[in-house]
């Protein structure tokens, strides 16, 4: 039998339906791959082998009765940010030490309803704060890609680094992820995988540990555009338990994948051509535009004039919301408790011991920008900038543009412990230069592998769409995936 872990979700669905193999065999193949690969990659923080075996058995029964759901028997990994009932849920933080929720997040419930099988919980940056997966309490995740001729470990991006690494290294068929400023799209781009951040409100945030509630969205990371569409169809949908979830029908996203781009207008924002942008990123972008043109799209130069304010405004809004959301971790209700001489002392000792450096930095920035006297100067202003950013996009879409093409990241994967980034958090923050605007405006964005850099590392392009028009993104991303035609699989060393 061929290696079952190499199948895409679409191929595995066909194989299961044709009874070429069972869900139990497929899950078994993944559990074996995790056992072999996880010590080197550190993508999983918890493996739920018994649960996976049970779920696969139930899927085989359903398949046998012809009652298969959309993802029946498909083994997936879950980012540690999603609440999973009775199972390790710590947002890769020490402060949630030992936390096992009493509830299941809506997005994961949707996946289980459709027959998906849970392999375990995936590593991530602590509370989803980071771009390299180095802020995790569980240590860094390793990218399955290495530069040609090098044995140096590279980061998989973040914060959904465990999701991206596990998908790329065949340790799950697909994974859930979340994106507040780029955390689905940047790790997808750095690992040769496909990641989509849906429109804000498309997926329920209920049961997902909150980072910055007005920006957070769940979405999938997968090995093909079609696989991402299949997962997103399952994950999406209105949820009365999340007041920002939008009551709209969920299209069959996979049906849109082969729609093509004939007649579409693709915008190219001039402000995304950054000073000092590497020539290979510029080349990739031009190639992407040529591919879309060759399939019948029209390319149009556009302007998004407030782009340069997006990253600074994000680093006010996101920490502000985080400082408020993370106030609940004080040693009383969840996870870690460090005893002190009185209750205030207990709060302080618990928070000092439970949060990592980056999380503390965000809490301090957030508390500062929300404090009396600074609130108007920082927070209120950042919200105004946010409105302007949103308006830039509205103007462009109202002017007839159907989707926007940009690079996904300013570079390929970098080294673990990269000194520049370790010493200067702002350098790390710049990883999200092309992705944060999309969160600020609440729009959907997809990252798709499009080429490789001179060292053989994957590079991605990003497509940004109109609100709730993820279908156009899937169709255009598929054109890029097909045209790039590349082999975006890592060479196995682990």
Active site residues: 79, 159, 183
| DSSP states along 242-298 | STTS---PPP-HHHHTT---TT-EEEEEGGGS-TT--HHHHHHHHHHHHHHHHTT-E
β 458-465/44-47 pair status? unpaired
∠327-184-49 over CA atoms, to 5°? Answer: 85
- In the numeric block, the tokens 């011991």 are attached to 353
Distance CA 339, CA 224 (A): 49
Distances (CA, A) of 318 to 122, 197, 214, 292, 321: 23, 17, 8, 34, 5
Q: Which residue, 173 or 436, is less far from ligand GLN as judged by CB?
A: 436
Q: Which residue, 56 or 365, is less far from ligand GLN as judged by CB?
A: 365
Q: Do 181 and 59 touch, CB atoms closer than 8 A?
A: no
- As measured in angstroms, the least distance from the Cβ of 133 to ligand GLN is 10
Q: Which residue, 84 or 178, is less far from ligand GLN as judged by CB?
A: 178
3-class secondary-structure state, position 119: strand
Q: Which residue, 159 or 193, is less far from ligand GLN as judged by CB?
A: 159
Q: Do 143 and 186 touch, CB atoms closer than 8 A?
A: no
Which residues in 342-457 belong to E strands, given as ranges? 403-407, 445-452
- Residues near ligand GLN (CB under 6 A): 128-131, 159, 179-183, 211, 318, 432
Tokens standing for 9?
A: 């979700």
Q: Which residue, 218 or 401, is less far from ligand GLN as judged by CB?
A: 218
∠195-199-202 over CA atoms, to 5°? Answer: 100
- As measured in angstroms, the least distance from the Cβ of 318 to ligand GLN is 5
- In the numeric block, the tokens 């209700």 are attached to 333
Residue 270 is classified by DSSP as G
Distance CA 314, CA 310 (A): 6
- As measured in angstroms, the least distance from the Cβ of 240 to ligand GLN is 25
Q: Which residue, 9 or 359, is less far from ligand GLN as judged by CB?
A: 359
- As measured in angstroms, the least distance from the Cβ of 3 to ligand GLN is 32
- As measured in angstroms, the least distance from the Cβ of 454 to ligand GLN is 25
- As measured in angstroms, the least distance from the Cβ of 370 to ligand GLN is 17
Q: Which residue, 7 or 128, is less far from ligand GLN as judged by CB?
A: 128
Residue 218 is classified by DSSP as E
- As measured in angstroms, the least distance from the Cβ of 131 to ligand GLN is 4
Q: Which residue, 179 or 402, is less far from ligand GLN as judged by CB?
A: 179
Q: Do 93 and 354 touch, CB atoms closer than 8 A?
A: yes
- As measured in angstroms, the least distance from the Cβ of 231 to ligand GLN is 18
- As measured in angstroms, the least distance from the Cβ of 433 to ligand GLN is 10
Which candidate, 132, 102, 159, 136, places its Cα nearest to that of 318?
159
Neighbouring residues of 236: CB distance < 8 A, sequence distance ≥ 6: 110, 198, 202, 203, 250, 253
Q: Do 314 and 211 touch, CB atoms closer than 8 A?
A: no
Q: Which residue, 350 or 462, is less far from ligand GLN as judged by CB?
A: 462
Distance CA 124, CA 122 (A): 7
Q: Do 253 and 470 touch, CB atoms closer than 8 A?
A: yes
3-class secondary-structure state, position 255: helix
Query: Is the torsion defined by CA of 196, 200, 202, 206 positive or negative?
Result: positive
- As beta bridge partners, residue 154 has 415
């Amino acid at each position: 039998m061929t290696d079952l872990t190499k199948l895409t979700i679409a191929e595995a669905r066909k194989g299961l339906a044709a009874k070429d193999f069972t869900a139990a065999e497929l899950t078994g193949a993944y559990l074996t791959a995790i056992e072999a690969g996880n010590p080197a990659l550190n993508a999983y923080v918890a493996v739920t082998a018994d649960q996976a075996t049970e779920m696969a058995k139930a899927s085989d029964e359903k398949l046998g009765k012809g009652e298969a759901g959309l993802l029946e028997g498909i083994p997936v990994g879950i980012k540690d940010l999603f609440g999973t009932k009775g199972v390790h849920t710590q947002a890769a933080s020490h402060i949630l030490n030992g936390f096992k929720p009493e509830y299941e997040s809506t997005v994961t419930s949707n996946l289980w309803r459709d027959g998906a099988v849970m392999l375990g919980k995936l590593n991530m940056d602590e509370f989803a704060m980071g771009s390299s997966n180095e802020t995790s309490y569980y240590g860094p995740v390793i990218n399955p890609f290495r530069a040609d001729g090098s044995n140096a470990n590279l980061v998989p991006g973040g914060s959904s680094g465990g999701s991206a690494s596990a998908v790329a290294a065949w340790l799950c068929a697909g994974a859930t992820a979340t994106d507040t400023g780029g955390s689905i799209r940047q790790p997808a781009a750095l690992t040769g995988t496909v990641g989509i951040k849906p429109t804000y409100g498309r997926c329920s945030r209920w049961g997902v540990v909150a980072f910055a509630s007005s920006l957070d969205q769940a979405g999938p990371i997968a090995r093909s555009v079609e696989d991402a569409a299949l997962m997103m169809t399952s994950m999406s949908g209105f949820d009365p338990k999340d007041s920002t979830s939008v009551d709209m029908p969920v299209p069959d996203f996979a049906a849109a994948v082969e729609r093509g781009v004939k007649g579409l207008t693709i915008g190219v924002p001039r402000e995304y051509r950054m000073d000092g942008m590497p020539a290979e990123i510029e080349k990739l972008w031009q190639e992407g535009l040529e591919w879309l043109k060759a399939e019948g799209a029209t390319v149009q130069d556009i302007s998004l004039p407030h782009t340069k304010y997006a990253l600074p405004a994000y680093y006010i809004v996101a920490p502000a919301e985080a400082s408020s959301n993370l106030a609940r971790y004080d040693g009383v209700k969840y996870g870690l408790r460090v005893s002190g001489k009185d209750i205030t002392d207990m709060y302080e000792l618990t928070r000092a011991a439970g949060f990592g450096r980056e999380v503390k930095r965000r809490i301090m920035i957030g508390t500062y920008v929300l404090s009396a006297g600074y609130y108007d100067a920082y927070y209120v202003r950042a919200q105004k900038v946010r409105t302007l950013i949103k308006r830039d996009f509205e103007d462009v879409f109202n002017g007839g543009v159907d989707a926007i093409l940009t690079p996904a990241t300013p570079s390929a994967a970098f080294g673990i412990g990269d000194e520049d980034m370790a010493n200067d958090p702002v350098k790390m923050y710049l990883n999200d230069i092309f992705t944060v605007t999309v969160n600020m405006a609440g729009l959907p964005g997809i990252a798709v592998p499009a080429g490789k850099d001179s060292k053989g590392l994957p590079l991605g392009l990003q497509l940004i769409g109109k609100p709730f028009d993820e279908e156009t993104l899937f169709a255009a991303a598929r054109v890029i995936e097909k045209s790039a035609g590349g082999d975006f699989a890592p060479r196995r060393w682990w």
